[in-house]
Structure 1
Amino acid sequence: MTAVDLPDPLVHRPHPDVDVEAMATALRDRVRGEVRFDSGTRAAYSTDASNFRQVPLGVVVPRSPDDAADALDVAREFGAPVLSRGGGTSLAGQCTNTAVVLDWSKYCTKLESVDADARTCVVQPGIVLDELNRQLADTGLRFGPEPATHMNCTLGGMIGNNSCGATAQRTGKVVDNIARLEVLLPDGTRFWCGETSDEEYERIEHRGDPRAAVYRQLRRLRDEYADEVRRRFPDIPRRVSGYNLDSLLPEHRFDVAGLLVGSESTLVTVLRAELKLVPVLPERTLVVLGYPDIATAADAVPAILPHEPIALEGVDHKLIRDQQIKSLNPRALAELPEGRAFLMVQFGAETAEEVERRAHGLLDALRDTDNEADVAFLDDPDRENELWQVREAGLGATAHVPGKADTFEGWEDSAVSPHRLGEYLRKLSELYREFGYASDTGPSLYGHFGQGCVHTRIPFDLYTAEGVAHYRRFMESAADLVAGMGGSFSGEHGDGQSRGELLSRMFGTELVTAFGRLKAVFDPDDRMNPGKIVAPYRLDENLRLGGDWSPADPQGLHFRFPNDGGSFAQAANRCVGVGRCRQHSTEGGQVMCPSYQVTGEEEHSTRGRARLLFEMLGGHGDGPLTDGWRSEAVKDALDLCLACKGCKTDCPANVDMATYKAEFLAHHYAGRPWQRPRSDFTMGWLPAIARLVGRLHAGPVINALTHMPGLSRLATRAAGVEDREIPRFAGETLQQWFARRGPAGSGARGTVMLWPDTFTGYFHPRIGQAAVRVLEDAGWRVTMPEKPLCCGLTWISTGQLGVAKRILSRTVRELAPHVREGGLVLGLEPSCTAVFRSDAPELFPGDQDVRRLRGQTVTLAELLTEHSPGYQPPKVAAEAIAQVHCHQHAVLGWDADRSLLHEAGVDAEQLDSGCCGLAGNFGFEKGHKEVSEACAERVLLPRVREAGEDTVVLADGFSCRTQIHELDSNGRDGVHLAELLARGLDAPAAKEQA
């Protein structure tokens, strides 16, 4: 063919078998980055946030863009398909393929340059959006588009999907914010591209190189299809479906970079991007409008748009209800006005006066019209941020809601003109009813209403052949509805596999042919993310579930998984891929996932581990994991799980990896306990060891031996643990002290049983003693079990669940008389207290005594605030930084502590430090020391070191105090809340009052 001929439309063709082993060897020889073709990695990358699953050939983690280019050279030589992946949160299946996956997110994360005058910067594809904007903060500039996944989405992924977010109301889509791209074609051609003037086009064309051939074909493609593009492309703010052929039109200055934005890794590999930046608006205010229903709220959008809000979002009452059920964002929900649907209208400007003027101008204009609403006016940044979290939590909040059917993507981001949004929502709701998806608990509707983009998750039945066929029929009907209204199937997430098959209904066969020809210009051999957008897989194949999914759902489980119908398979399937566990910031109060925060490894995120467990159960014929509970790949991925339980609360789908890990380890070592590491016995059986030491009063002797130079190292080696300082036993246990002392106090408030957990009782009994003083001063009479008892925590965390259940059952029987009479049980160690509140009910969901114990177990702060009316704590004039234990964060909560400290006069700052890194046995286990210390060094230890000498380091967790004691170079020690309050009893004012 001549240089200006267009290729025939690309038709998907099966790829010849790739010599994967030889390719992996070549990659390891020629790539500086990490090359991973093991079964565990392939399992972790087998899906994204979509309905689809394809096991990759292998994964390459390049160390630089040039390294990625070397990897692509190797893949080309072996004829292997390739796929670029960022945060892996794509919802249409574009980040899963049987290909060599390039994961840019670990190393290619640099902001390479900033030109503040030109308002541009150059970035590598793996940089996370929030991190980019943090680095740009001093310039007063930021990258404008901001999806709800801004805390973990990468710029490469945003470019691939043409992302938008709420801020697109002001700044537009990614395509509107790209100056240039450095791209690598499948044949190895590499160049920068952007808008192309006629003069520049001539210079490129005259070179006669492969780039020139591409540009000539693009010019020919533009000329041939320009009229059809203008006629058929929807004239709406949120057309993300299809390729951006409109970027090639003269009115868009033949913008090749714009063409490639949103191409979902199907045309080229993006190596670098030059971004356009926008000024940060320092002043913002938020107006929330309440309406009787979501369609009526949508009707008001056209009247609001002329007031130029910088964001205009809509949420319905079902999204609010789902968040209430899952206890998400409770304080923010309380700020909402009256109504069953809400518009969140944000204004931004340089001055507070300007945003106030705009907001009041809007309200004045709506008054006495059909669009008038109930109003909440927020101008406190903290309250605004909380309310935005309501909107951003949409995906996670609507997945796995108790009492509701599972919901799925597929039709989750359609878009129409904002002027027809109300009409569309009514017709979409009718379609829900027609297909049986509508109910009082049915799909919620929310999204970027100012641009006509609607988000929803639908309770498709993707478990049966009939349900999958019904899903297909709905998708076809929904596509016809949107196409008939001049809308776009995708307003944000892209087509991928979910909607690629439907594009002819929106664009017509002529433009779909043009898309195929465009694909052939760049990728004639169909190596770039094949089967997505062009010549796509069907929307009902490669399903992660599907009518033929038949996982081996294990029987004989220890945990009963009551929230998943008793099914470990359903528990492992909880992860919806939103990726909040891939946290990069040290802000926001999130604990999960400590090991990912340190390693940056997908398989060390909650999501990655969930994917491995899902694959472990099989259900597909091509699964990379075939040895079930015996899987070494799963064990290796779970090895760096700290069992912090942060994901139990922080994950929007409430994945509880600590529980999954314990269950897995129990079965992994079943029948072969000799294969367990020694630390499972020394750390797991610590309560039994401590009980023996206490009975023999051998604490001082053990301490001397384990802390003697030379012998200490022998002790840790014998125990099979890391070379760390071994905690010291107390000379007298808490129960021994209490038996000698006996109960005292008036008991005016009643009697409370203080739980003598192993860590408080045998290592830090001073904390229990302080608690007794505080409680008796508060009017409580304190009792304590006479027998040595244990909650079983250390056996649970090491997966010795048979022993744990026996020990916990014995404890429950001993405590039963007290709790049956309505007595409260006070826990001082958060991890042990959380066993009664969380683990025990999941191990014994039908046991009434366990249920009572869960409801009647309290923390010290809860007892003194919620169960002690009128109590005034002793005044403690102090500043404190608080390291909140992970299990308190995840299970118990810290609100009562915050309130009690305030009443006590303590100026306490809760650190955004996440897990301390010790996490019970984790930090002592072999091979964990480096990760353990790195977790502590992220926030906790630097803040402790910089704190003033008089600043109290509040740490209720034994692990947290141990970590601080050993690793803080200044020799600081953590203080328990009970100790801090007891100090107030010793203060002069308290003595004088007494």
Structure 2
Amino acid sequence: MNGEVRVDEGSLSAYAHDSSNYRQTPIAVVVPRDVDAGVEAVRVCREHDVPVFSRGGGTSLAGQCCNEGVVIDWSKYCNRLLKVDGRRAWVEPGACLDDLNAELAGRHLMVGPKPSTHDTCTIGGMIGNNSCGASAQAYGKMADSVVRLEVLTYDGVRMWVGPTSDEEYERVLAEGGRHAEIYRALRELRDENLALIRTRYPDIPRRVSGYNLDALLPENGFDLARALVGSESTLVTVLQAEIKLFPVPPYQALAVLGYPDVASAGDAVPQAAALQPLALEGLDHRLIDLARVEKIAGTDVLADLPEGSGWLMARFGGETQEEADRRAQRLIDDSGDAHTAYLDDPAEEERVWEVREAGLGATAYPPGKPDTHEGWEDAAVPPDRLGDYLRDFRRLLDEFGYQDSSLYGHFGQGCVHTRIPFDLDDPDGVAKYRRFVERAARLVASYGGSLSGEHGDGQSRAELLPIMFGAEVVRLFGVFKGIWDPAGRMNPGKIVDPHRLDENLDHLDYHPAEPATHFTYPADHHRFTHAAARCVGIGKCRSSSGGVMCPSYRVTREEKHATRGRARILMEMMRGETITGGWRSKDVHEALDLCLSCKGCRGDCPVNVDMATYKAEFLSHHYHWRPRPPSHYSMGWLPLWARLASAAPGLVNAVTHAPGLSGLVKLAGGVDRRRDLPRFTTDRFTDWFADRRPAVEGEPVVLWPDTFTNNFHPDAAKAAVRLLEAYGYRVEVPPVPLCCGLTWISTGQLATAKRVLGRTVAALTPRLRNGVKVVGLEPSCTAVFRSDAPELLDGDPDVKLLSEQTVSLAELLADRVPTAPVPGTGIRALAQPHCHQHAIWGFEADRKLLERVGVQVEVLDAGCCGLAGNFGFERGHYEVSTGAAELGVWPAVRDADPGDRILADGFSCRTQIESGTSARPVHLAELLAEILL
């Protein structure tokens, strides 16, 4: 077979979960290299009578992507846009929605449905789930976009299906065989149950639950493709899709309306929907409060929201901006007593919209509150009854003690999202969960609604389908499945003959012993076991562009190299069933080995999974009392070797760069032979500073002489001294060698890192207690003081002071540097933010400072540079390191205008840029000194 079959513990663990509450470990994972290989995989499963199911982005919230059979992952290779003809596209099932829309952008076309997981979800998954998203207000569900499907049945029939005329039906019957048998049985199913199908399906825009038997009705064209959409891989395997495309709205505008509560916002939906917005979303004050805490979108954006405790966000399109604005203004004019805001800045619009899209992640771990879960997160009712439903649903939540649940969703189509603090860790909590969802299902049914308005039935709602449809229609679902899948081997236990909704729960049997750890995990109740289970499966780490995470996934396209895959593997390691080797597991080590420790996930992950920290913790245990790789001794102990090299840097450079000797040095140090070793400076910053006469007046600050700046790039620190003194600071530098411990942390030598950090904190304590700030120039070292240190040395008040009083150069100077006159300096700069800075404190202060001094700055959103400290130097990492650079940073720098300055504060970033381009990047301090001094 032209593909890959995996049965290793790591792969099985990564695919045992999706984004739901459920866990089922597959017996094998198949990654086909082409569609024919996927067909062959199904044939082999049939020969061995093994269940099979397909998977795309793996973001299903109802358990559709968990099963104990063979999982076929289409996303790595079978992801091509095959053809575009007018407003039709032919697409392979593994194509990611955002990637597909990027390919279509040049034609000004797009796929209509756009779920919040648009940067991760695949076309095949959207078909399997009948996906919607906010844009379904204008473009409908995925069933409304699918024209035809090429499908494969478990028993080997490969065919194209779609709307079926009487002539085509007769042609199929004349051909005979299994193909004709399927068509004949489907027609009989429909004809014998016309009245039942016509009367028992809710006439609402967001009915996703159940099979689409109504697509078989004569008035709907006996459309087999639409009938298969939303079937969750329980009927057929989708091999290719012909789908409709829609013009991209050239201009958009956003209106936001505030109401006293979210139910009042629901009452206003019919009036707002009548104006035909592209999207009409609702959210409550709880989501906004969490967005403020989680710092989603920025406090300035949230502060501009109109007054209220419930909001509607309406997005309008137009052929001109004036048309879009006019439509938004009409809603505002007709809004009555609502408080309103009109946003005409596209960037601000997008930041506000991010609050709504981040709902699932933002509400998962509310600070000081119980963890929340899906399980009843997307019911839908008629939009004109939404307000009353929200009031009844809120009363039900309060009755069960779930009052802290946030309510938000696609209000224009009556779909309500929420995550509820179900206690799924113990049997009593699970029993309460069951009682609640049964009551909630009856409430939705009483409104003529759907148990699922977007996320499907899977395992969490399939058992409840009789409440919504009645027993007779549910019986027809079984007949329908039997026509397509007589053996019952396609994703069994979902929709038809389902597992109970309280079976296979992920957390119910997850009670591992808590290990002793170095990091203290304050955001996870000081429990590594909670941190290992923190991922909720959203899969944003699988995006191919934007943000930082996950650089190794973007290169390898492997689930176990995504943050989510690694998190699932760590959780399984703690569980000790699929992965039995514990901290010594080779499978876990293999999955973590290609983690760059960039910390991108800590900033970009919607629930702030911090894989860099988890990797460091794992390495500390994995190598406890065992020999480490050579790189852990060479680069992990770099601060010591740099101090020794300072005695004779010229000699050291000659040895490390001499032909023949250089290769031996790299071999001994575990460095890839294709990497150039950095040269030690002959004029260390600390030596230069000791020999000069510092300013004696001004506010004292400690300039931190990190190993990289001090020993390899001292000009940045020298420039920083001149700047700080010019703007009224008295610069101090520790008189003895100190270190933040970064290199020991990244290589998992945490006991040493804590000792090193302890000495540093003790030396800085007198200054810290006097309120003196510590200025960091190397972002990775600054991030240690602000983030890693308080998590390694939790409870030490002086460490807390160090975290609070450590600032970047931009943060310190932002209010002291005068504003440059227009038109500024004429300097254009391309800035590559360091990943650790991106994750811990961001680049906004740098951007504002650069603009303040007159620099036109373009901040790259190109992902990690790929070097990431020791990672890119280590043997076995070169391809991933350079692959990450080629995906973003290197092309962006090469395409920059010749006169643009390349700005990169991170030593790794500058080194990587220099290794793959002709650019010579500079530190912010150097650029500011050039402009201001």
TM-score range, shorter chain: over 0.9
Q: How does 1:878-893 map to 2 (within 5 A)?
A: 878-893=827-842
Q: Given the two structures, how large is their TM-score scaled by the length of structure 2?
A: 0.98
Could you tell me whether the CA contact under 8 Å between 1:145 and 1:164 is conserved in 2?
Answer: yes
User: Quick one: distance in 2 between partners of 1:359 and 1:891?
Assistant: 37
Matched, 1:336 2:296: no
Matched, 1:917 2:858: no
How far did 1:872 drift? Answer: 7.2
Matched, 1:75 2:45: yes
Matched, 1:568 2:568: no
**Partner letter of residue 607 of structure 1?**
R
How far did 1:873 drift? Answer: 11
Match of 2:607 in 1: 653
Match of 2:716 in 1: 767
Match of 1:833 in 2: 782
Residue deviations 1:446-487 (CA, integer Å, cap 9, x gap): 000010000000000001110000000001110111111110
- Counterpart selection for 2:463 from 477, 483, 501: 501
Q: Given the two structures, how large is their TM-score scaled by the length of structure 1?
A: 0.92
How far did 1:490 drift? Answer: 0.1
**Partner letter of residue 660 of structure 1?**
Y
How far did 1:835 drift? Answer: 0.4
User: Quick one: distance in 2 between partners of 1:274 and 1:657?
Assistant: 39
**Partner letter of residue 503 of structure 1?**
L
Match of 2:361 in 1: 396
User: Quick one: distance in 1 between partners of 2:664 and 2:819?
Assistant: 51
Q: How does 1:356-367 map to 2 (within 5 A)?
A: 356-367=325-336
How far did 1:332 drift? Answer: 3.1
Could you tell me whether the CA contact under 8 Å between 1:183 and 1:191 is conserved in 2?
Answer: yes
Could you tell me whether the CA contact under 8 Å between 1:864 and 1:871 is conserved in 2?
Answer: no
Q: How does 1:305-324 map to 2 (within 5 A)?
A: 305-324=273-292
Q: How does 1:337-736 map to 2 (within 5 A)?
A: 337-367=306-336, 372-438=337-403, 442-546=404-508, 548-554=509-515, 556-585=516-545, 588=546, 590-618=547-575, 623-672=577-626, 674=627, 676-694=628-646, 696=647, 698-723=648-673, 724-736=675-687
**Partner letter of residue 736 of structure 1?**
D
Q: How does 1:215-234 map to 2 (within 5 A)?
A: 215-234=183-202
Match of 1:982 in 2: 929
How far did 1:284 drift? Answer: 1.3
User: Quick one: distance in 2 between partners of 1:79 and 1:856?
Assistant: 63
Classify 1:827/1:357 alpha carbon distance in 2 versus 1 (closer, same or farther; 3 Å): closer
Matched, 1:325 2:277: no
Classify 1:961/1:490 alpha carbon distance in 2 versus 1 (closer, same or farther; 3 Å): same
Residue deviations 1:902-938 (CA, integer Å, cap 9, x gap): 1111111111121111100000111001110111111
Matched, 1:276 2:244: yes
Task: Tell me the SS of whatever aligns to 1:596.
Answer: helix
Matched, 1:298 2:266: yes
User: Quick one: distance in 2 between partners of 1:170 and 1:107?
Assistant: 31
User: Quick one: distance in 1 between partners of 2:841 and 2:315?
Assistant: 34
How far did 1:521 drift? Answer: 0.6
RMSD across aligned positions (CA): 1.3
User: Quick one: distance in 2 between partners of 1:738 and 1:911?
Assistant: 33
User: Quick one: distance in 1 between partners of 2:826 and 2:806?
Assistant: 29
User: Quick one: distance in 2 between partners of 1:951 and 1:837?
Assistant: 32
Match of 1:38 in 2: 8
Task: Tell me the SS of whatever aligns to 1:428.
Answer: helix
Give ranges in structure 2 of 5+ residues lacking alignment.
none
How far did 1:664 drift? Answer: 0.4
User: Quick one: distance in 2 between partners of 1:940 and 1:956?
Assistant: 14
How far did 1:365 drift? Answer: 3.0
User: Quick one: distance in 1 between partners of 2:914 and 2:316?
Assistant: 48
User: Quick one: distance in 1 between partners of 2:272 and 2:837?
Assistant: 44
User: Quick one: distance in 2 between partners of 1:601 and 1:893?
Assistant: 28
Match of 1:236 in 2: 204
Match of 2:851 in 1: 902
- Counterpart selection for 1:52 from 16, 22, 43: 22
User: Quick one: distance in 2 between partners of 1:149 and 1:598?
Assistant: 20
Residue deviations 1:499-533 (CA, integer Å, cap 9, x gap): 00000111111011000011111111111000000
Matched, 1:739 2:690: yes
How far did 1:260 drift? Answer: 0.2
**Partner letter of residue 979 of structure 1?**
E
How far did 1:427 drift? Answer: 0.6
Could you tell me whether the CA contact under 8 Å between 1:745 and 1:780 is conserved in 2?
Answer: no
Match of 2:791 in 1: 842
**Partner letter of residue 927 of structure 2?**
L
User: Quick one: distance in 2 between partners of 1:686 and 1:411?
Assistant: 52
Q: How does 1:817-828 map to 2 (within 5 A)?
A: 817-828=766-777
User: Quick one: distance in 2 between partners of 1:873 and 1:282?
Assistant: 35
How far did 1:334 drift? Answer: 2.8
Classify 1:812/1:98 alpha carbon distance in 2 versus 1 (closer, same or farther; 3 Å): same
Task: Tell me the SS of whatever aligns to 1:267.
Answer: coil
Task: Tell me the SS of whatever aligns to 2:694.
Answer: coil
**Partner letter of residue 693 of structure 2?**
G
Task: Tell me the SS of whatever aligns to 1:289.
Answer: strand
**Partner letter of residue 636 of structure 2?**
G
Matched, 1:199 2:167: yes
Could you tell me whether the CA contact under 8 Å between 2:257 and 2:332 is conserved in 1?
Answer: no
Match of 1:973 in 2: 920
Match of 2:68 in 1: 98
- Counterpart selection for 2:135 from 163, 167, 174: 167
User: Quick one: distance in 1 between partners of 2:167 and 2:730?
Assistant: 89
Could you tell which deviates more after superposition, 905-914 or 187-196? 905-914
User: Quick one: distance in 2 between partners of 1:98 and 1:668?
Assistant: 30
How many residue pairs were aligned? Answer: 930
Could you tell me whether the CA contact under 8 Å between 2:818 and 2:853 is conserved in 1?
Answer: no
User: Quick one: distance in 2 between partners of 1:813 and 1:354?
Assistant: 63
Matched, 1:860 2:809: yes
User: Quick one: distance in 2 between partners of 1:309 and 1:941?
Assistant: 40
**Partner letter of residue 357 of structure 1?**
R
**Partner letter of residue 46 of structure 1?**
A
Could you tell me whether the CA contact under 8 Å between 2:329 and 2:342 is conserved in 1?
Answer: no
Task: Tell me the SS of whatever aligns to 1:136.
Answer: helix
Residue deviations 1:750-802 (CA, integer Å, cap 9, x gap): 01111110001111111111110111111111110000000000000000000
Task: Tell me the SS of whatever aligns to 2:644.
Answer: helix
**Partner letter of residue 952 of structure 1?**
R
Could you tell which deviates more after superposition, 457-466 or 877-886? 877-886
Task: Tell me the SS of whatever aligns to 1:581.
Answer: helix
Task: Tell me the SS of whatever aligns to 2:191.
Answer: helix
User: Quick one: distance in 1 between partners of 2:433 and 2:170?
Assistant: 50
Match of 1:65 in 2: 35
Task: Tell me the SS of whatever aligns to 1:307.
Answer: coil
User: Quick one: distance in 1 between partners of 2:725 and 2:331?
Assistant: 58
Could you tell me whether the CA contact under 8 Å between 1:745 and 1:779 is conserved in 2?
Answer: no
Residue deviations 1:126-149 (CA, integer Å, cap 9, x gap): 001111111111222211011011
Could you tell me whether the CA contact under 8 Å between 1:745 and 1:776 is conserved in 2?
Answer: no
- Counterpart selection for 1:941 from 878, 883, 890: 890
Give ranges in structure 1 of 5+ residues lacking alignment.
1-30, 987-994
How far did 1:720 drift? Answer: 1.6
User: Quick one: distance in 1 between partners of 2:54 and 2:750?
Assistant: 41
Q: How does 1:110-121 map to 2 (within 5 A)?
A: 110-116=80-86, 119-121=87-89
